[in-house]
Structure 1
Amino acid sequence: MQHSIKTTGLFISRTQGTHKGHISALIQAIDSGIHHILYGIGSSNKERTSENPFNFQERENIAYTLMNLLQQDHPYISYEIYNIPDFNDVKARKKHIQDTVPDFDTLISGNPHVNSIWNDKKTIIPIFDTPYRGTHIRYQLQMEDWKTLRESVPEEIIKLYKQINAPQIIQSIERQNPTPPRIATDLIIVYNKKYIVGRRKHAPYGLALIGGMLDPGERIHECALREGYEELFQRDDPDKQLILTSQHPLRINDNPLRDPRGRIISFAYEAKILGGQVTGGDDISSITFLSPEEVMNRPLEDFAFPDHKDTLLAHITMNS
């Protein structure tokens, strides 16, 4: 059955790394005929954690600023802002929304899990895929990289981040709540004068260096080599051959917020392919070959982990 798009839409965002992708999603909804937006601030009961560094009042101010920006170009729209806390039970969360938020016609969401909760009643407008991610925004805030932030965050939101001392908030969270780290490995591979990266099958999505998690009883350089074989080649490739140029890593990436899955320290090794067909495997959906120039010009947000581009840039500089 084909649903018609009505005028009221529910948009839920944790607002823990607001960027231009959120504006793009809302503009799509407006262009589809939605003129009244119910903005739900998700996980409103969580604050001062790695995933949710900002409190509700800080996020509410960001949401108001975001919606006011939209009204400048779309003065005919209206909006309301609501807090949407997390519940352990999906049904309880849905009931809270039904009891708290006015009835709406359309869910503005690209999240399959959220969509599945409402697909029996509401029309869904998919959000086009964007290169921006809240994880990257929080990483750049922690690093106080305002130049890069301005590429993906409106200036009005950046001013708010500065007013609430967002970098200091994020930096203090890790100092107060250190988590035991896990170990991962990455491979820097130049093949036919191009760097090999893979597109991840699972979240966090995006381009990434070949690599993976350390197994119990495994040495770190052994993990790097094993992951290389698993993610570069098909298992039955008789000609596959991969070596590390050294058992010592070229780089260690240990930023506490580098990975949204938790505290993961990554050891990057240089490797060479001596044989076999590079097709991709295991957790990699496809292989991409990037020249040094393409690495430099590729947006940071294309990478699942921001420091993977940093690692490649450092290798380019080292070999230039």
Structure 2
Amino acid sequence: MAIPDFIRDLRTDIGTKLLWLPGVSAVVFDDAGRVLLGKRADTGGWSVIGGIPDPGEQPAETAVREVYEETAVRVVPEGVVLVETMPPTRYPNGDVCQFMDVTLRCRAVGGEARVNDDESLEVGWFAPDALPPLDDYALHRIEKAQAAGPTWFQGAAQPEPEAAG
């Protein structure tokens, strides 16, 4: 993930100390029900698309921007899938960040999936039953986005599914 300028500026003051940041993930589906994934340049692993909001930017705007920047696909956010605070991460350069992630379910409305910046090695559409290897973070978000249920909040009591009647 590229480091935004405003974070680079903060790091000149705080060094590598813990930095609390917002994050936005987008689980993007096409009309065939496939999910859009990117193979990250920084880790080499496949994941859902995401990034850090610019100062003042709304989460839905971040999802639209990040998906287009990384994949050239145009999307429309449809709903909040989950809100979750991630454990702190120490990056190879020593920086420590902790993200509060807002994951949005998005629908693809245009563009052809392709690598569109230097943050991805590959991008592609995958059937939910034929996903490449993914970490639990990405799998959890895809699962919750497919369910199209109420928003999932980490640590909160979750509503029980309604019984068929």
TM-score band by shorter chain is: 0.5 to 0.7
1:315/1:244 CA distance change after superposition, 3 Å:
closer
Q: Does structure 1 conserve the Cα–Cα contact (< 8 Å) formed by 2:64 and 2:77?
A: yes
Partner of 1:269: 104
Alignment partner of 1:312: what SS?
helix
Match among 239, 244, 259 for residue 77 of structure 2: 244
- Unpaired segments of 5 or more residues in structure 1? 1-177, 234-239
Q: Is residue 253 from structure 1 mapped to residue 84 from structure 2 by the alignment? A: yes
Partner of 2:153: none
| TM-score (normalised: structure 1) | 0.36
Task: Summarize the alignment of residues 296-307 of structure 1 with structure 2, pairs less than 5 Å apart.
Answer: 302-303=133-134, 305-307=135-137
Per-residue CA distance 1:158-212 (angstroms, 9 max, x = gap): xxxxxxxxxxxxxxxxxxxx9441111111111222111100011x330111111
CA shift, 1:260, in A, is: 4.2
Task: Summarize the alignment of residues 28-177 of structure 1 with structure 2, pairs less than 5 Å apart.
Answer: none
Q: Measure the CA separation in 2 of the matches of 1:260 and 1:207.
A: 19
For the aligned residue pairs, the C-alpha RMSD in angstroms reads 2.3
Per-residue CA distance 1:223-262 (angstroms, 9 max, x = gap): 11111110111xxxxxx6321114xx211231314x4432
Structure showing the higher helix proportion among its residues:
1
- Unpaired segments of 5 or more residues in structure 2? 1-16, 92-96, 150-165
| TM-score (normalised: structure 2) | 0.66
Partner of 1:195: 35
Q: Measure the CA separation in 2 of the matches of 1:288 and 1:260.
A: 28
Per-residue CA distance 1:243-298 (angstroms, 9 max, x = gap): 1114xx211231314x4432122211111111221113221111132222224xx5
Structure showing the higher strand proportion among its residues:
2
Q: Which structure has the higher relative contact order (CA within 8 Å, separation 6+)?
A: 2
Q: Measure the CA separation in 1 of the matches of 2:26 and 2:50.
A: 6
Percent identity between the two aligned chains: 17
Q: Does structure 2 conserve the Cα–Cα contact (< 8 Å) formed by 1:251 and 1:269?
A: yes
Q: Does structure 1 conserve the Cα–Cα contact (< 8 Å) formed by 2:24 and 2:103?
A: yes
1:179/1:312 CA distance change after superposition, 3 Å:
same
Partner of 2:145: 315
State the AA in 2 paired with 1:313. Answer: E
State the AA in 1 paired with 2:138. Answer: H
Alignment partner of 1:268: what SS?
strand
